[in-house]
């Protein structure tokens, strides 16, 4: 099968509520957005505005209370976890703020596992672990365990895992939060390379450099998309 027509990802009127006792917090209040292939979109906003909740719902790691998500032409929301996991493995690269690596595997082992779960996909290129690690500046760390990595190294290793299957869309939550300026530039160049290759990138970020390097900026405030 080739790439599905239309946007790589579309979110329709997403709502997400959290409850603590009688208190209700609205993390998302009707968020709609699309990300097209060959486009990098930055989601910005203050801490607690709903960026991470949005990314989790877009990745199918959390279910919205209202609305739905379509990825590569397939509905992701309110589908069995096995269905969502298959869509993630084949079409979505996910980089969270933490928990991206399996501790008992080496960095290369994490990449190999991600690739084995997805299997081959027409039009994709599964790069060798060494190639992926070179791209994020971790040459020589293939055999390292996650517990031996610095915060910045772990973030970049997680990015390599997220890119292991040449995903149609990369969802990255604060991909440069733990890295220094030089490595932030390296990550940004890697993201731009993805876009130039016709892939889609959606980044939640506080970085002005990453936002400036994006094609479009979406601002979220109090769970809503704010006017430009």
> Domain of 176: which CATH number?
3.40.50.300
Ranges of H-type helices in 14-79: 51-58
Q: Beta 216-221 vs 224-225: how paired, if at all?
A: antiparallel
4 within a domain of the structure (yes/no): no
Crossing angle (nearest 10°) for helices 151-162 and 181-196:
10
* Nearest-angstrom CA–CA distance, 89 and 165: 8
pLDDT at 211 over 60: yes
60 within a domain of the structure (yes/no): yes
Per-residue pLDDT, averaged over 201-214, amounts to 95
Question: How does pLDDT run across 17-40, given as a tens digit for each residue?
Answer: 998 888 888 999 999 999 999 999
117 within a domain of the structure (yes/no): yes
Q: How confident is the model at residue 1 (pLDDT cuts 50, 70, 90)?
A: very low
* Nearest-angstrom CA–CA distance, 64 and 66: 5
1 within a domain of the structure (yes/no): no
3 within a domain of the structure (yes/no): no
The encoded tokens of residue 156 equal: 């970049």
Q: How many domains in the chain?
A: 1
Any residues with CB less than 8 A from the CB of 104 and at least 6 apart, and which? 145
The encoded tokens of residue 57 equal: 């719902």
The residues that bridge with 71 in the sheet, in sequence order, are 9, 74
Question: How does pLDDT run across 126-182, given as a tens digit for each residue?
Answer: 788 899 999 898 998 999 999 999 988 999 999 999 999 999 999 999 998 888 888
2 within a domain of the structure (yes/no): no
Residue 53 and residue 62 in contact, taking contact as beta carbons nearer than 8 Å = yes
- Phi then psi dihedrals of residue 212, to 5 deg: -65, -30
Question: How does pLDDT run across 41-85, given as a tens digit for each residue?
Answer: 999 999 999 999 999 999 999 999 999 999 999 999 999 999 999
Strand arrangement of the beta sheet that strand 40-44 belongs to: 92-95, 169-173, 200-204, 40-44, 216-221, 224-225
Range of the domain at 208: 9-225
């Amino acid at each position: 099968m080739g790439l599905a027509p239309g946007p790589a990802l579309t979110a329709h009127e997403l709502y997400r509520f959290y409850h603590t006792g009688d208190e209700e917090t609205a993390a998302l209040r009707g968020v709609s957005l699309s990300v097209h292939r060959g486009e990098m979109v930055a989601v910005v906003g203050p801490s607690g505005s709903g960026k991470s909740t949005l990314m989790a719902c877009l990745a199918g790691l959390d279910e919205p209370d209202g609305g739905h998500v379509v990825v590569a032409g397939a509905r992701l929301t309110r589908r069995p976890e096995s269905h969502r996991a298959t869509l993630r493995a084949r079409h979505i690269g996910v980089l969270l703020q933490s928990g991206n690596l399996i501790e008992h595997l080496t960095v290369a082992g994490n990449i190999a596992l991600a690739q084995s779960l997805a299997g081959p996909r027409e039009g994709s290129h599964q790069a060798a672990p060494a190639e992926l690690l070179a791209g994020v500046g971790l040459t020589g760390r293939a055999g390292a365990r996650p517990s031996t990595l610095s915060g910045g190294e772990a973030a970049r290793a997680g990015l390599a895992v997220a890119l292991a299957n040449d995903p149609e869309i990369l969802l990255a939550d604060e991909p440069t939060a733990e890295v220094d300026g030089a490595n932030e530039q390296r990550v940004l160049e890697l993201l731009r390379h993805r876009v130039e290759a016709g892939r889609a990138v959606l980044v939640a970020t506080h970085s002005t450099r990453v936002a400036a390097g994006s094609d479009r900026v979406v601002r979220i405030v109090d769970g809503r998309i704010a006017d430009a």
